[in-house]
Amino acid sequence: MRHSSASAGLPADVVVFERGWLSSNNVLFLGGEETALVDTGYATHAEQTVALVESVLGGRPLDRILNTHLHSDHCGGNAALQAHYPSIRTDIPPGEASFVESWDQQGLSFLATGQTCPRFVFTGLLQPGAECVLGAGLGRFTPRRATILTPSFCSSQERER
């Protein structure tokens, strides 16, 4: 597991945690007002994910998780990060929200794939085509697609409580 940013040709406010085979990479954005992590890795890597995020952020909090989709290698670290950063916001694709609310592990595909994912909550929905300010305004996020580094702006639809 390694992480890279400016030395790999990325802007200094974008840090990639490169994971192994069949595991999602995580992208940490360091904005002036907000920090955000795209995808959180497997539950078995959750302690490592928290440690990596903490090592980059220092004493600064992680403000937001953005999940591209909810396979266990993309959201397995959500619960650990939510426990470590109690004020964190977590945005997920709307098509999987009902499965998270009822914690339907079959609907989330965890049972069928033999995967483990600790229960987590979400605070917002990333609507298809939504764009987000990530880092210094360099991120574009579209649920179920990769993060693209382009100048953009975004807002997520906050979940009604």
State the CATH number of the domain containing residue 71.
3.60.15.10
pTM for the predicted model, two decimal places: 0.83
Number of domains in the chain: 1
Structure tokens at 144: 């179920």
Its domain, for residue 15, covers 2-158
Kind plus residue range of the DSSP H or E element containing 54? helix 46-57
Average pLDDT of each block of 10 consecutive residues along the chain (161 residues)? 59 84 81 92 94 96 94 95 98 94 96 95 87 69 49 41 34
28/130 Cα distance (integer angstroms): 18
Q: How crowded is residue 109: how many other Cβ atoms within 10 Å of its Cβ?
A: 17
